[in-house]
């Protein structure tokens, strides 16, 4: 009797005979060469037909869900020999069937997963990815699990409502997938502004919102925006969050980073001020001290914690701390003067075929911005000029006195020095896809940051068509005063006084900031002398960005500012 098993056996014997003949002929002609006959291209399709037909199947799989009032089940007849490598099915123990419980959303993808075990092919969609990954992980399909895991970063930017991102984060938390959890958190932190305006914002869990607020790489216009967003989230939750939970979330807002002019309005504008008066006053006092005191004075307090994140800035994209370059809009012509007007010592006057004629020689992607030396209020009148550009050719790099290892290359450089050597900058470059969402954040080293590596954009999340815009963000940081002894001991700018400065509220009392304290009357507070600048220069910070140094014609002291 010619059974399907006999047909397969005959086919296999014929194949072996042909293969043996080919190998024998090869041996006779060349001595020891081997020729491969690969007919596996149709194997996946053939295995798919076997699964679909269920011919000679010998193992029943019952998948069901019990997460609702109605039990839904699905039965698949499979082949033990196919399921044997996947131990959770227990086919090696002589069982004839198995019952599996799963969530209702994943039940509809279960047949697709079992078919993959036959064909090793599957089409994954945004809606099915999480379930496919879970089943691959649960049943030991390691290669599918790894490839599906990599796809998570591909689909994260696709959902503008952020519901998929939240679903994936919750899934990662449930399964303990720390890598997926971090990928989700990072994307949400980099795109925090969009998240706060999305339908998913009010669905964030307390744990997720707290995790975001703890991150230094959270991208926001400023810290005041962060505070307002947290207040909005708490208000939207109504009575579902306790006062203790609310206070815990508010405590992660970095009040010292809030612009000083915003602090005065909090008592009247904050919807949560009356419920958390003590917390707000404590945080506002801390912020006011940061704005009017040298950081060394803050460090001298017994309550000071050097690990306190409140004194560390996030990535603030609001004015005046950032500028955006769009390659599709911001190309600027570069003009070169005629030979008679060229400075013989000007680098643009070198003999170069591309510059021998007067007029437009090339185009550059560049912008300028001006920022205060630091976030602190006492530095607001002291400015730094910055030049941001994208170097697109080696000639552009040469014009800047650089040799670029890769192109394009982003550069953010201080054009002017600042008056003290106590502030360094840890600047950031943001790559935004089509100007709408952030796919990469990277630092600057020696003022430059590569946009491509080996000709390829290296980004954490995909951007269709590589349509990027570039956002340059200036981030002033503190330097410990012990490493910079030439710091003037001035504490409060003479123009800052509670009676005339709106950011210092008279209801907040503290020995170091009292409404009656004024530089002219308090012996420990010295008004700053006029800025008599000496020679100044800028040095690059090889570790993380730009270090700005200089000298002042002032009395020196070991004190230092943030």
Identify the CATH number of the domain in which residue 107 sits: 3.30.710.10
- 140 plus 14 within the same structural domain: no
* pLDDT in the model for residue 326: 95
Instruction: Note whether residue 47 is domain-resident.
Output: yes
Main-chain phi, psi angles of 454, to 5 degrees: 55, 40
Beta bridge partners of 370: 385
The pLDDT of residue 555: 28
- Are 341 and 368 found together in one domain? yes
The burial class, CB within 10 Å (0-12 / 13-18 / 19+), for 268 is: exposed
Q: Are residues 403 and 461 in the same domain?
A: yes
Find out whether 168 and 152 touch, Cβ atoms under 8 Å.
Answer: yes
Q: What is the pLDDT of residue 478?
A: 65
Statement to judge: residues 13 and 115 lie in one domain = no
367 & 463 share domain: yes
The answer to whether residue 224 is domain-embedded is: no
Distance, in Å, from the CA atom of 437 to the CA atom of 190, rounded to the nearest integer, reads: 8
- Please give the pLDDT value at position 126: 85
Is 445 contained in some domain? yes
Residue 546 has a pLDDT of 36
Domain endpoint, select from 139, 158, 177: 158
117 and 15 within one domain: no
8 A C-beta contact, residue 168 and residue 184: yes
CA–CA distance, 119 with 47 (Å, rounded to integer): 6
| Same structural domain, 465 and 324 | yes
Instruction: Report the C-alpha gap between 418 and 229 in whole angstroms.
Output: 34
- For the chain, the domain total comes to 3
Show which of 438, 453, 480 is a domain's final residue: 480
What's the pLDDT score for residue 493? Answer: 37
Statement to judge: residues 332 and 463 lie in one domain? yes
Confidence (pLDDT) at 330: 62
Round to whole Å and give the CA distance between 83 and 488: 75
Domain presence at residue 463 = yes
Question: With contact defined as beta carbons under 8 Å apart, do 227 and 253 qualify?
Answer: yes
Residues 376 and 463 in one domain: yes
Do the domain assignments include residue 508?
no
Domain annotation covers residue 128: yes
My answer on whether 25 and 50 are in the same domain is no
Question: Is residue 230 within 8 Å of 253, Cβ to Cβ?
Answer: yes
Task: Report the pLDDT value the prediction gives residue 26, as an integer from 0 to 100.
Answer: 45
What are 516's two structure tokens? 């009656």
Q: Report how far apart the first and last C-alpha atoms of the chain are (Å, whole number).
A: 90
Residue pLDDT tens, the chain, 562 long: 434 454 454 344 444 444 444 444 444 445 678 988 998 889 999 999 999 999 999 999 999 997 667 789 999 999 999 999 998 998 877 889 999 999 999 999 999 999 999 999 999 998 899 999 999 999 999 999 989 988 999 999 999 999 999 999 999 998 888 889 999 999 999 999 999 999 999 999 999 999 999 999 999 999 999 999 999 999 999 999 999 999 999 999 999 999 888 998 899 999 999 999 999 999 999 999 888 877 677 777 777 777 789 989 999 999 999 999 999 886 655 554 554 444 444 433 333 333 433 444 456 799 999 999 888 888 888 889 999 999 999 999 999 999 999 999 999 999 866 554 667 899 999 999 999 999 999 999 999 999 998 889 999 999 999 999 999 999 998 644 543 333 333 333 333 333 333 333 434 434 333 333 333 333 333 333 333 333 333 333 333 333 333 333 332 333 333 3
Structural domain harbouring 442: 311-480
Hey, what are 42's tokens? 């149709």
Same domain, yes or no: 52 and 138: yes
What's the rounded Cα separation, in Å, for the pair 341 and 344? 9
The reply to whether 215 falls in a domain is: no
Give just the sign of the alpha carbon dihedral 404, 406, 412, 418. negative
Sheet containing 448-450, strands listed edge to edge, beginning at the edge strand earlier in sequence: 331-336, 359-372, 383-391, 409-414, 448-450
- 134, 158, 182 - which closes a domain: 158
Q: How many CB atoms lie within 10 A of CB 536?
A: 16
Q: Both 465 and 317 in a single domain? A: yes
Indicate whether 22 belongs to any domain: yes
List Cβ neighbours of 167 (8 Å cut-off, separation of 6 or more).
130
């Amino acid at each position: 009797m010619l059974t399907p098993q006999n047909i397969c056996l005959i086919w296999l014997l014929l194949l072996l005979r042909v293969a043996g003949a080919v190998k024998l002929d090869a041996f006779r002609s060349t001595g020891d060469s081997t020729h491969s006959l690969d007919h596996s291209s149709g194997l996946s399709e053939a295995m798919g037909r076997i699964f679909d037909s269920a011919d000679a199947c010998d193992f029943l799989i019952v998948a069901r869900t019990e997460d609702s009032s109605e039990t839904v089940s699905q039965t698949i007849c499979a082949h033990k020999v196919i399921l044997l490598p996947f131990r959770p099915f227990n086919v090696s123990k002589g069982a004839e069937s198995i019952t599996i419980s799963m969530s209702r959303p994943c039940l509809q993808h279960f047949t697709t997963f079992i078919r993959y075990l036959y064909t090793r092919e599957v089409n994954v969609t945004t809606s099915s990815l999480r379930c496919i990954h879970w089943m691959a992980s649960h049943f030991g399909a390691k290669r599918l699990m790894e490839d599906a895991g990599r796809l998570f970063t591909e689909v994260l930017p696709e959902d503008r409502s952020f519901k998929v991102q939240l679903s994936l984060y919750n899934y990662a938390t449930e399964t303990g997938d720390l890598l997926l959890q971090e990928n989700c958190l990072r994307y949400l932190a980099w795109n925090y502004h969009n998240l706060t305006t999305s339908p998913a914002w009010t669905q964030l869990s307390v744990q997720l919102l707290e995790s975001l607020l703890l991150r230094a790489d959270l991208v926001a216009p400023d810290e005041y925006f962060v505070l307002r967003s947290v207040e909005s989230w708490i208000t939207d939750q109504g009575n579902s969050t306790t006062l203790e939970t609310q206070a815990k979330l508010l405590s992660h807002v970095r009040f010292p980073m809030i612009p000083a002019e915003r602090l005065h309005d909090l008592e009247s504008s904050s919807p949560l001020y009356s419920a958390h008066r003590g917390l707000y006053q404590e945080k506002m006092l801390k912020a006011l001290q940061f704005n009017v005191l040298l950081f060394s004075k803050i460090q001298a307090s017994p309550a000071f914690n050097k690990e306190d994140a409140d004194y560390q800035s996030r990535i603030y994209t609001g004015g005046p701390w950032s500028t955006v370059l769009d390659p599709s809009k911001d190309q600027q012509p570069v003009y070169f003067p005629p030979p008679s007007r060229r400075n013989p010592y000007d680098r643009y006057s070198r003999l170069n075929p591309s510059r021998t004629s007067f007029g437009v020689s090339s185009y550059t992607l560049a912008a300028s911005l001006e920022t205060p030396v630091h976030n602190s209020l006492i530095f607001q009148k002291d400015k730094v000029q910055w030049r941001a550009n994208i170097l697109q050719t080696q000639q552009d790099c040469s014009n800047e006195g650089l040799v670029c290892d890769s192109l394009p290359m982003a550069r953010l450089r201080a054009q002017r020095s600042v008056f003290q050597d106590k502030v360094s900058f840890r600047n950031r470059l943001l790559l935004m896809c089509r100007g709408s969402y952030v796919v990469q954040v990277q630092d600057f080293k020696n003022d430059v940051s590569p946009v491509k590596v080996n000709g390829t954009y290296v980004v954490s999340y995909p951007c269709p068509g590589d349509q990027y815009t570039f956002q340059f963000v200036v981030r002033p940081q503190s330097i410990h005063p012990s490493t910079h002894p030439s710091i003037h001991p001035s504490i409060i700018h003479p123009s800052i006084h509670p009676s005339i400065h709106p950011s210092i509220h008279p209801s907040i009392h503290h020995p170091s900031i009292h409404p009656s304290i004024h530089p002219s009357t308090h012996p420990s507070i010295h008004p700053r002398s006029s800025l008599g600048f000496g020679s100044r220069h800028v040095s690059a910070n090889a570790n993380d960005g730009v270090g700005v140094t200089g000298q002042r014609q002032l009395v020196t002291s070991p004190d230092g500012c943030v």
